Amino acid sequence: MSNSNACSRTLTALGIKSESHTEVELAFLQARTRRHFLRSVGGGLGTLFLGTLASKLVPSAKAAGGETAALDFSRDARTPLSPLPPQFPAKARRVIYLHMAGAPSQLELFEYKPELKRFDGQDCPASFLAGKRFAFISGVPKLLGSQYPFHQTGQSGQWISDRLPHIEKCVDDICFIKSMRTDQFNHAPAQLLVQTGNPRLGYASFGSWVVYGLGTENHNLPGFIVLLSGGKTPDGGKQLWSSGFLPSVYQGVQCRSHGEPVPYLDNPADVSRSLRRSMLDTIDEINDQTYAAFGNPETVTRIAQYELAFRMQMDATDAMDIRKETDSVHAQYGSKPGEASFANNCLVARRLAERGVRFIQLYHWGWDSHGADAKEALNLGFNDRCREVDQPTAALLSDLKSRGLLEDTLVVWGGEFGRTPMRENRGGQQMKYVGRDHNPGAFTIWLAGGGVRPGMSHGETDDMGYEIVKDPVEIRDLHATMLYLLGFDHRKLNYRFQGLEQKLTSVKPARVVPDILA
Amino acid sequence: MPGRLRGSGSKSARLWMLGLPLVCVLLIAVYLLRRRSGDEVHFSRDIRPILNQNCMPCHGGVRQKNGVSFLFREEALGTGKSGKRTIVPGKPDESELIARVTSPDPDARMPYHASPLSPQQIDLLRRWIKQGAKWEDYWAFVPPKPQALPVVRNSNWVRQPLDRFILARLEKEGLSPSSQADKAALLRRVSLDLTGLPPAPEEQTSFLADSSSDAYEKQVDRLLASPRYGERWASMWLDLARYADTKGYEKDMERPGVWPYRDWVIDAFNRNVPYDRFVITQLAGDLLPDATFEDQIATSFHRQTPVNDEGGTDDEEFRTVAVMDRTATTWSVLNGLTMNCVQCHSHPYDPIRHVEYYKSLAFFNTTQDADLPEDTPVLRVPKDKTLYPEAARLQQDIAKLQSAVVRRGRQLEEQSQWFPIPLTSATASAALASQWEASDLERQLAGLKREKLAPKKQKEQRKYLQQAIAEARKKAQTETGKKTPLLISGGDLQASPDISGKQAFELIAKVDAPEITALRIEVYPANSETACHTPDLGFIVDRIDAWVIADSGQEKKIVFHLLVPDSESSLESALSAAIESRREPTDDPGANGFQTVPNLFHPRWILAVPAKPLKLRRGGQIKLRLTQTQEIDDKPALVRRVHLSVSGDESWQNLANDDSWSKELAQLTTLTRQLKKIPTVPLPIMAEEPNYDQRTTLEFERGNFLTKVGPPLVPDVPGIFPRLPEGGLRNRLTLAKWFFAPGQPLTARTAVNRYWEQLFGTGIVETLENFGSVGEGPSHPELLDWLALHFQDDLHWDMKALLRELVTSATYRQSAKASGALMEKDPHNRLLARGPQQRLTAEMVRDQALLASGLLSDKMGGPPVMPPQPEGVWNTVYNDSKWKDATGPDRYRRAIYTYIKRTSGYPSFLTFDASDHDTSLARRIPTNTPLQALVTLNDPVYYEASEALAKRMLSEQQSIDARIRYGVRLVLSRDPTDRELVALRALYQKTVAAPTLEPIAATTHGNSRELTAMTALASVLINLDAALTR
C-alpha cells in the first residue's frame, strides 16, 4: 500500500465512515510508521540519556486519556527537538501561518454579498440583535454593504474584491473556508483560541504542539519562529507563542527581520568568532571533566547545546539575512532589507521554510477596522493593510510553488474572528469613519499548499454574511484538519498535564474537514 | 472452580485421564495467579488503575457512554442503557462488566476497539466483584496515617528521622547511600537552596576551617536567618500566586501598586510566619477579626488574577474567569487537586461532582472586584513603610464612617413609608445629555490648569477636551427638539434595550402625597429573579435634577439638600451633593448622581432629600431628569427599569437638618484628603460585597457562565473531604481555616512535597500539581505521611524548622556523584542513593552572576526594576508603557525585583523556564537548550557581569593562577581542579597573546587586552555546567 493510498483511505474513514473505523485505520498506520521508527532509532548512548529531561517530556506510558495506546513523544535528552515521524504519512511538513491580527473584514475581501449592498444604510433587523453580544454595537445599527467592488477570477471562478490584486492571481491555489466560527468576540481571547485552542491564558500554542509532536528538521535554527510586523505585538501578547504547559523548549522564538534576528544571537562586541570558539572549547573541556566526575547526563546535554548555539549563530544570521536575495526577488515581494515589514517577513518565511523550520508564524497588526479613527477605518487604514500584505502574500505563495515547497508547506491566512454586516455605532451613535464590529459568528480563513484542495471554497454564510448557513467550521475543526495534514489524529497529539491528556483541540469534539483536503 | 473440575472428572475415567494434564495446568495457573496477587484484591492498588486506564475515558466524569460510569460506586453498581447491571457485587457472572471485557464479539467487547484486557486483569476484576466489589478511597483522600520509623541496618548513617525511610527503601533495593558531599559542594548546594545565592569566599573559608561537629548546622542556621532566604522562597510562592506587575490580556496595563504584596511574601518568609497562618492570611486576611493592614495586603494573593481591559469586553465574563481561577488556584496550591477539571463536568477520574465545583466556587463569588480598569477594591499602601500605621488608621476610619453613614441611611429608608408615584410620561433626549456633557467638559477644561500635568500632557488633554466639547455641542444642536418616547408599564419606566447612546431621561410623575420629604429612585434589573446570578449591565446616572410642574405648566427647580445612597459605592457623588447644597443651588453641572458599575445584581436606590418639604397640590406633577452620558464596557450605561416613590416622613427632614450627619460627611471629606496627602500605590485586595448586594452562585451548565441551572448553592467543600464546622459562616475564612483542620488529607502532604521538590528536584509525588488518582503515586508513601503529620502536629507548620530538618538530613548531604550502575538502576534518582543535583533556577542564574561579579545590589523591596533587555521587546497594543533600562544599583537588583509583564516576560528568565505568571504554576520543568547558552554567553547583562568579575579578579589578585582561583571560588564556590586551572590558564594566555584572534585588543570599550581576555575567562566560568548547577 503506497503512502498516498493509505492517506486517502484514512481520509475516507475520517470523513465518512464511523469513528471506530477511523481508530482502526489510524492505529494501523501508526503501527507502520512511528513504532517502526522508534525501534530502529533506540539503543546506544541515547537509551542511557533518556534521563530526567526525557522523563518529563514524555506523557507517561500509563496514559489514561486516550482510547488507544498513546503516542510516544520521548526523546534523547540532548535533543528534545529531534524529529519524530508523524502518526501517519503526512502531506504537510511545515506550516507558515499568516495571522492578520485585529481580524480583517471578510466582507471587504472574500465574501461577495450583493444583497447586503442592497440594504446598505437601512436599520438592522431586530433578529440580528436578539441574544447577541457585541463588543461595541449598541441600540439599532445600520446595515453596511461592502465598501469595495467584487469580481470573479481564476479558473476556479472565485469571488474576490479589488483590494487584493496580487492574491487574486493565486486564487486557484487557495482554499477559502468562509464558514469559520469562534465563540470569542474580544481580540486577546479570540487570538488565544486560534493560536492555543483555548481562550484563556496558560495553554500551549499551535506551533509548540507541532514542534513537540514532530521536532525540527534543522537543529541550527529554532523549530518555531515568530515574526511580527505592523508595529505592535498582537493583542494576545507573547502568550500566543508560549509553550504553556509544554516544556519551554517548545516555545516560539520571536525573531526579527532586521537587527539581531534571535535575541542574544550576536557575540558581545569584544568577542570575535575565533575567541568564542576558544571559549567554547574551554567550556567543553571543563564540562567533560565535570561529567567524568559526576556522571550527570544533563552535563553532556549542555555540551551539545553550547555547540548548537555556536552553529545557530551562523545559521540563524544567514537564514534571516534577506540581503542575500536578488533584486528580482525583492521586487517580487516588495521587500526592503533593513525594514520591519510584512514583505520582509514573508521573504524570511520562505528562507526559513527552505531550511526546514517547522512552524513559521507571522503576525501583521492593524486590521481592527472599527472606524473609531482613520487608521481603523474600512475606507482608510484598511486599504493600507491590504497593500502591505497583498503583494508579499502572493509572492510567498508563488515563490514557494516555483521552488516546489508549496506541496508540503501548509500556508494559512486569516484573523481571529469576522466583522459584522452592520456598521459600527459605538455607544449607539453614528461614527465619523466607516467600520464594522466584531463578528464571532462567521469569518473567512484561507489555506494553500500542504495537502489542501486548491481553488475551492468551503462553507457559506447567509446573504448578509452574518451567520453561517452551510458547513460551519469551528476553530478546533481547523486545528484538527491542520494536524491531520501534518500527520496526526488530533486526539493523539497529547501531553499529560494536571492528570489529563491535554490536546490542542481541547475538550469539545473536533472533526477533520474532509472537503478541503486534496 | 477446582471443585467443579473434580466433579466432572468423576463421570468418566477416560475423560478424567484425558483431562488430567489440562486440569493440572489450570490448577497451577490458578494457584500461581492467586499467589502472585494475594487473596484480597485491593481496589486502589489493583482495580482503580485498570478502570482509569481502560474505562474512565468513556465511562467516567466527562463521558458516561450508554449510561455507564465508574466514577462512583453507586454509579458502577447501576444499570446501563443495555438494561443490565454493570457490576453485581459477589456475582461476576451477572456483571455486565465481565461479560463485556470477555465478549468474543469485537463490537461488544470492551475496551471498545482497543486492546483487550489481559487475562490477569480480567481475573482481578472477577475476583474483586466476587469479593463484594468493595470500593476504597484513593490514598490521597484518606488522611495521612501515623508511621512507625522504619528499622534500618545502617542506623549510623541516619541524621534525621526522615533518613530512615529513605535508607529502609535503599536497603530493600540492595543499594547503599553515597558518601557525604565534600564540604564545598555541600555549602554551595545549601546556600543556593536556602538563599538562592552561592556562598561568598569568606563564607566558604570559614566553613572549611570550622571542624566542630555542628559546623554544617551552624551554616544552615545562618542561611535560614539571612534576609536572602525570604527573597529566594518568595520566588517559589509567587509562581503559585501568578504574581505580575501587569493585568494581562490585550492591553496588559500596569498594576503600579502590586509590589507591596510581593514584599509581604518576602517578609512573611523571613519572619517565618507558620504555613497555616501564611495561607489563611492570604486567602482571607480581610475577614480575620481585627484584620491588620498587613493582613489586608496579604489578600492580594487572589487579586493577582488577570483583568481584561480590552475595549468591548464583558466585565462579568472576565470577573467569572478570575473567580474560577481563584477556585482552581486555591485547590491546586493547597491540595494538589485539579479542581478546574470539574468546571464543565464531574471530575474525569476523581470522585468530585460537577455541582461540588460550584459549591467551592461560591466561597469566592461574593467579592467586590469586577474586572474593572481601576482594579477596585484597592488598598492605598504608602510607598514609605513607616507611614503604614497612619495610612492604615485613615483607611480604617474612612471605612467605618462610610459604613456608618450608609447603615443609617438604609435604616431610615427601611423604617419610612413610601408611596409610589406613577409615571405619566417618559422621554429620552440626546440633546439634553449632550448639552450637559458639553458643560461638564467645559468645567473639566477650566479645572485643567489646577491639575499638575506636564506641559505636553496638559496640551494633549486640552486639545482632547476642546474637541469633545465641540462634538457634544454639535450633537446637542442637531438633536434639539427630538424626544424619543420611552415605555411606561404599571407606572414604572421600562426602557427597551434599543434606547442607546447618551441620553437624558425625563420622567413625569403624578403625585398624590400632601407633603414630600424624600424622593426615592429605584433602579431594577430587567429580571430581578435571575440578576442576582446573571446580572444586567450596570448604569451611571451623572446627575439627578427635579422640578415641580405647576398647573400653569411652569417648572420650579427642586433644590435637594442631600442624596442618600444605598451603598458605599455611590457615596462619593452623594457627598459632593451635600456640599453643593451648602453653596448656592444652581444648575451647576457637577456630577451629582449615582451608579452601579459594572453590573446590576439587585434593585438599587438613591434618595433625594429636598431642602424644605415639598407641598404639592393634589394631582400635582414632578419632573425628574436623569442625565446619563457614560459607558460601561463601551456600552451606554443607561437605567432601564425605574420605580419612583416618595415619603412624607419627618425623619428625612430631620436628617437634612441633622448636624451630626453633615459633620460625619465633612469628617469623611477631611479623612479622604489626609489620605490623599500620603504618597501611596493602589494594591488590589479582596473585600466581600456588602450583605445587601451579594451575588448568588448557581451551577453553570457545562461551565458556561451564561447558562446557569439548579437552585442557589450554599458554599461547601467536595464530599470526599471532611465536613466544614457545623453552624458557622460559610465564607472564605471558614474555608481557609478548614484546610488546616485535623483530618484534612492533603494540605500538609502538598506542602511538604513542595519543599521536598525544591530541595531534591523531584517531589515524593512527582506531579506537584496533581495528587489525584491520575497523578503519579508517591515514591515513598510512608515518608510522605510521616513528614506531613510531623510538619502539622510536631512542627506546627513551622517552615524554617521543616527546611532545617530536610537540609540537615543525611539524604540531602550525600554527594551527587552517580556511578554508571546507579545511573542505570535509578536514572531519575527517585530512591535518593545519591545527593540531589539541580540546574539553577532562572533567578539563581542571574543572581549568582551578579553576586560573583560584585555588582549585586542588596536593596530589598519596593517598586519593580527594569534591568536591560533587548530593544523592541515591549510593543503592546494600546499601552504606551516603555521599558527603560535601569541605571545605578537598580540595574543589579535580585531577579525577584524584575518587572513582570504578563504579555512579555523578561526574555532571559523565560528562556530559563521561569513562569510567565499568567496562571498559577506548581512546578517549573527545567529544560536545557541552546537559547540558554546564548543568554549566559551574549546577553549584555551577563557580559557586563563577566567584565565586572574580570575586573574584580584582576584588581584583587596578582598572579594569573591566583586570579583564576579567585574567580572559580566566586562562581563555582570551590577551588579549581588542577586540570580546570590548566584549561582556564591556557584560554587566558591564548587570548592575551594570540594576535590572530581578533578583535581581541582594546576596541569597543577601550579595554586592555588583559581585561578582554579575563572577561572571556569570566564568561566561561559563569557558563560552566558546574556554575549552572547546584
Write the DSSP string, B28-91. Answer: HHHHHHHHHH-SSPPIIIIIHHHHHHHTTTTBSSS-BGGG---SSHHHHTSB-TTSSBS--TT-
Residues in A closer than 8 angstroms to B52, CB to CB, are 64
Q: List pLDDT tens digits, range A209-237.
A: 999 999 999 988 999 999 999 888 898 88
pLDDT (0 to 100) of residue A44: 28
* Chain B, nearest residue to A183 by Cα: B704
ipTM score of the complex?
0.86
Q: What is the mean pLDDT of residues B529-541?
A: 93
Distance from CA of B92 to the nearest CA of A (A): 25
Q: What is the mean pLDDT of residues A382-405?
A: 97
Cα B310–chain centre separation:
21
pLDDT (0 to 100) of residue B2: 37
pLDDT (0 to 100) of residue A259: 74
Which of A141-155, B24-38, B172-186 has the weakest average pLDDT?
B24-38
pLDDT of A28 above 60: no
The mean of the pLDDT values for chain B is 90
Residues 31-60 on B with a CB inside 8 Å of A are 49, 52-53, 56-58
Which residue in B150, B187, B92, B142 sits closest to B975, CA to CA?
B187
Q: Which of A30, A250, A271 to mutate to test the interface with B (most CBs of B within 10 A)?
A: A271
Q: Which of A26, A52, A245, A317 to mutate to test the interface with B (most CBs of B within 10 A)?
A: A52
Distance CA A204, CA B93 (A): 46
Contact check, Cβ <8 Å, B341/A68: no
- Higher-scoring residue by pLDDT: B1003, A418: A418
pLDDT of B124 above 70: yes
Contact check, Cβ <8 Å, B938/A264: yes
* Chain A, nearest residue to B984 by Cα: A282
Residues 6+ away with beta carbon under 8 Å from A91 = A7, A407, A408, A410, A450, A451, A485, A517, A518
- The band of B23, judged by pLDDT with boundaries at 50, 70 and 90, is low
- The band of B24, judged by pLDDT with boundaries at 50, 70 and 90, is low
- The band of A46, judged by pLDDT with boundaries at 50, 70 and 90, is very low
- CA atoms in the 13 A half-sphere facing the CB of B103: 15
Cα A79–chain centre separation:
24
Q: List pLDDT tens digits, range B913-972.
A: 999 898 999 988 888 888 999 999 999 999 999 999 999 999 999 999 999 999 999 999
Q: List pLDDT tens digits, range B337-357.
A: 988 888 877 777 788 888 999
Distance from CA of B928 to the nearest CA of A (A): 7
Q: What is the mean pLDDT of residues B309-318?
A: 90
Q: Cell 484538519 maps to which residue? A: A481
- Higher-scoring residue by pLDDT: B93, B936: B936
Contact check, Cβ <8 Å, B998/A274: yes
Distance CA A230, CA B242 (A): 30
Q: Which of B877, B878, B991, B1010 to mutate to test the interface with A (most CBs of A within 10 A)?
A: B877
Q: What is the mean pLDDT of residues B291-316?
A: 94
- The values of phi and psi at residue A436, to 5°, are -130, 150
Point out the residue among A247, A269, A437 whose CB comes nearest to the CB of B925.
A247
Q: What is the mean pLDDT of residues B315-334?
A: 96
State which amino acid sits at residue A298: E
Which residue in B425, B539, B435, B524 sits closest to B484, CA to CA?
B425
% chain B with pLDDT above 70: 93
> Which of B75-84, B436-445, B803-812 has the highest average model confidence (pLDDT)?
B803-812
pLDDT (0 to 100) of residue B577: 57
Cell numbers at B870, concatenated: 533587548
Residues 925-964 on B with a CB inside 8 Å of A are 925-935, 937-940, 943
Q: What is the mean pLDDT of residues B423-427?
A: 97
Q: List pLDDT tens digits, range A434-453.
A: 999 999 999 999 999 999 99
Residues in B closer than 8 angstroms to A237, CB to CB, are 248-250, 252, 876, 902-904
- The band of B832, judged by pLDDT with boundaries at 50, 70 and 90, is very high
Distance CA B978, CA B966 (A): 14
pLDDT (0 to 100) of residue B455: 86
Give me the residues paired with residue A359 across strands: A95, A224
The pTM for the full model equals 0.86
pLDDT of B583 above 60: no
**Alpha helix locations (H) across A215-259?**
none
pLDDT (0 to 100) of residue A102: 95
Q: List pLDDT tens digits, range B129-175.
A: 998 888 888 899 999 999 999 999 999 999 999 999 999 999 999 99
Using a 10 angstrom Cβ sphere, with 0-12 exposed, 13-18 middle and 19 or more buried, the burial of residue A155 is exposed
> Which of B9-18, B514-523, B542-551, B916-925 has the highest average model confidence (pLDDT)?
B514-523
- Higher-scoring residue by pLDDT: B66, A147: A147
Give me the residues paired with residue B699 across strands: B709
10 Å Cβ neighbour count for A327? Answer: 7
Contact check, Cβ <8 Å, B634/A136: yes
Contact check, Cβ <8 Å, A186/B308: yes
Distance CA B48, CA B42 (A): 9
- Higher-scoring residue by pLDDT: B92, B1001: B92
- Higher-scoring residue by pLDDT: A59, A100: A100
pLDDT of B36 above 80: no
Contact check, Cβ <8 Å, B308/A265: no
Q: List pLDDT tens digits, range B245-255.
A: 999 988 999 99
Q: List pLDDT tens digits, range B382-397.
A: 999 999 999 999 999 9
